[in-house]
Amino acid sequence: MKKIQLKSRAKINLSLDVLGKRPDGYHEVKMIMQEIDLYDNIILVEKRHEDSIKIISECPYIPKDRTNIAYRAAEVLKKNFDISWGVNIYIEKNIPVAAGMAGGSSNAAAVLKGLNTLWDLKLTQQQLMDIGITIGADVPFCIMGGAAIAEGMGEKLTPIEGLRNTWILVAKPSISVSTAEVYSRLDLEKINKKPDTEKLLEAMERGDLYALSHNMVNVLETVTLKQHPIIKELKRKMMEYQALGSMMSGSGPTVFGIYKDYKKAKSAKNNLAIINKQTFLIQSYSKGNKDE
Ligand code: ATP
């Protein structure tokens, strides 16, 4: 019985801009994505005598049926390549669910990569990414890992040099935010501050965390900060606890803070964890997923 274990890492957005709405209803975005070292553990165990796909997880917040995006990833490969074997997918969840950190997309990416090995499909990374986009807009980035500019629906990727030696404090408040609702409430006319991607990229290239932190913009905050004052409060707290900058990731509600100095970050984590249960201190992850 063959099995394979993979780390399924989360991402944060260092910027998020919405350029417009397409006729099909999707929004055209431009964002800087950064993989971080907060991960779910995924174990794939092949079943040669059964052909079913099974999701096994103790996490109560994710579906265990075919609506789980990791299930869909396995199903697509099984159908496309006519695989008659089954697989058990164990998901140990650490990434907060529905948080703006692409937890589900990352699980789907890990399943595609893992089954490529387990089923000996010999697909290239680009082929896996082409399959990934049929499952979800963030899946190709999660397959590629590292850091990238994402355009289109989020699937047009340009790899960039990511953050190194950077501490990221992540706080997920205990509220739920629907991505679809945030986008539907977004009024493009009312956005007066947009991210300057070039400026952010230059700051990243120079390793200038101060300039990066001061220029991060997520236009979706115009919706969520008004609706959920806790997001604004977490950002304020992070700045009070000496973050270089703080912003909401994706459509929220997760807030992150950037730190160069580990001691400051650790002290901020200890303080914030008192008022916000899901608080994590991790590092950025810029090597891509080449070790798996
Ligand atoms: P993104 O940043 O890509 O918008 P997210 O972090 O906001 O993603 P997810 O954690 O991926 O959101 O979860 C979104 C929804 O998908 C949840 O309602 C969850 O129940 C469902 N879901 C399905 N499969 C998974 C999975 N394997 N892990 C997490 N959520 C899943």
Question: Collapsing DSSP states into helix, strand and coil, what is residue 154?
Answer: coil
User: So what's the pLDDT on residue 288?
Assistant: 47
Please report the domains of the chain, with CATH numbers, ordered by start residue: 3-159 (3.30.230.10), 167-283 (3.30.70.890)
Query: Among this protein's residues, is 138 annotated catalytic?
Result: yes
Query: What's the CA-to-centroid distance between 98 and ligand 1, angstroms?
Result: 5
- What is the Å distance from ligand 1's center to 22 Cα? 23
pLDDT(292) > 50? no
pLDDT at 267: 98
Among 56-60, 115-119, 160-164, the minimum mean pLDDT is found in 160-164
The three-class DSSP label of residue 172 is strand
The pLDDT, as a whole number, for residue 287 is: 62
Whether the predicted model's global pTM rises above the 0.85 cut:
yes
Neighbour tally for 79: CB within 10 Å: 9
Q: What does the pLDDT look like over 122-159, one tens digit per residue?
A: 999 999 999 999 999 999 999 999 999 999 989 899 99
Task: Compute the distance between CA of residue 206 and CA of residue 220 in angstroms, rounded to an integer.
Answer: 27
Per DSSP (E only), the strands in 139-291 are 147-152, 156-160, 167-172, 245-248, 255-259, 278-283
Q: Which of 62, 89, 107, 153 has most ligand 1 atoms within 8 Å of CB, for mutation?
A: 62
